[in-house]
A and B are shown apart, each in its own frame.
Chain A
């Protein structure tokens, strides 16, 4: 028999890379949500978190390019992931129709979830790019007033609202599918595992949606109050009155 292995291995490697970037992005989105929601603990808490990423506590002054670098890394992961995801999208209206009909016949939650993962993934192409570009180019404008001004006065809240739902559904479904695909948390009964994972997935989605909406409302409230002083930087209470 022939000893040379001719079947290409690239598709498997690309799939692994898509899963890897998806996992990194999905986990990052959870951590990201906790950082952003620090505003719920107060303006000072959010100010502290923002300064932390600028290296303020290590170098004694904010290094904004650190934030730009971090965003650039996420942006790269995002572009690689999206490029790989293109392989899975319906490539024509005919394929799209086939999938829709298949989904309506199957009436299987996981088949339907994959459809929504593709739809939300498509939406993220545009929405996440806008957000990432702004964060990368204006890292100096991240803070309680600065971010609230962007949300309200710069009219980012409609984008953030839709993007919140898109990311939470997309990331939640994606991580659930990863767990199924690689057998993480698998028990002896495959169906029971799947049911448990699905419940867990929906619970997480609900949690992050509630946290996300509460956070967005908090920024909107600050944004409305701060609109007359648009553009002004926030100075934390513990530094107010002291030298700038």
Chain B
């Protein structure tokens, strides 16, 4: 490191307080429930802040620039699966995306393949339910009369771990939106179904 280079703490301070980047969000807007609505792109400009996620950025836009902007966040921690959207071409969880990893121009679009509610908000639940009903991804009891008072047979911890791994799907819909076949064919069940089916099968 040369003598002129600033000390690490100075650099951090500069990024935190110093000339922040101006971020331009190009957001695809449309409200299918409004007959007058035409799909179009709105551009919003805000200052980047340290540690900013898209959750923070979008809320700032809604609070300061356009109160009508529709999007979903519930847990803002990558657990609930409600914030999936297309960020610069790729489906991702918005709450887990840091603006510092993105260029200054950020394109946001709703996840394709799902029913659009408005702007960035889509109905993943409806799709997931349809898939579950089609593939019958619930526990099928082959035993006619189950004795609910009977003590359950213990499960091998390794098997439990493997099932848990599949059960971690938060049904965000990103894999469905990222899948070319799911986009081409509306009836394709997509990757989320593997976890649903396998979980149901291994539990059964």
The chain A residues found within 8 Å of chain B, CB to CB, are 1-3, 5-7, 88, 90-91, 95, 98-99, 102-108, 111, 114-115
A205 to B140 Cα, complex, angstroms: 45
Q: A3-B141, A5-B136, A106-B89 are in contact. Are A98 and B184 (CB under 8 A)?
A: yes
B90–chain A nearest beta-carbon distance, Å? 6
Residues of chain A within 8 A (CB-CB) of B112 are 102
For B89, give its contact among A6, A7, A98, A107 (CB under 8 Å).
Answer: A107
In the A-B complex, the 9 residue pairs with the smallest Cβ-Cβ separation, listed nearest first, are A105-B89, A95-B184, A7-B136, A7-B135, A99-B180, A102-B180, A102-B183, A98-B184, A98-B183
Contact A99 B141 (CB under 8 A): no
User: A1 with B180: in contact, given A7-B134, A7-B135, A7-B136 (CB under 8 Å)?
Assistant: no
Contact assessment for B184 and A106 in the assembled complex, using a CB-CB cutoff below 8 Å? no
Residue numbers in A under 8 Å from B135 (CB-CB): 7
Q: Are A99 and B140 in contact (CB under 8 A)?
A: no
Given contacts A105-B86, A105-B90, A108-B90, contact A1 B138 (CB under 8 A): yes
Residue B11, interface by CB 8 Å: no
Q: Give the B interface residue count (CB, 8 A).
A: 19
24 interchain pairs (CB within 8 A)? A2-B140, A3-B140, A3-B141, A5-B136, A7-B134, A7-B135, A7-B136, A88-B181, A90-B184, A91-B185, A95-B184, A95-B185, A99-B180, A99-B183, A102-B112, A102-B183, A105-B86, A106-B180, A107-B89, A107-B90, A108-B178, A111-B178, A111-B180, A114-B180
Say how far B174's CB is from chain A's closest CB, in angstroms: 12
Looking at the assembled complex, report how far the CB atom of A72 sits from the nearest CB atom of chain B, in whole angstroms. 32
Which A residues are in CB contact (< 8 Å) with B180? 98-99, 102-103, 106, 111, 114-115
Chain A residue at smallest Cβ distance from B112 = A102
Task: Give the residue among A2, A102, A106, A111 with the most B Cβ atoms within 10 A.
Answer: A102
Report B156-192 CB contacts with A as 1/0, cut-off 8 Å: 0000000000000000000000101101110000000
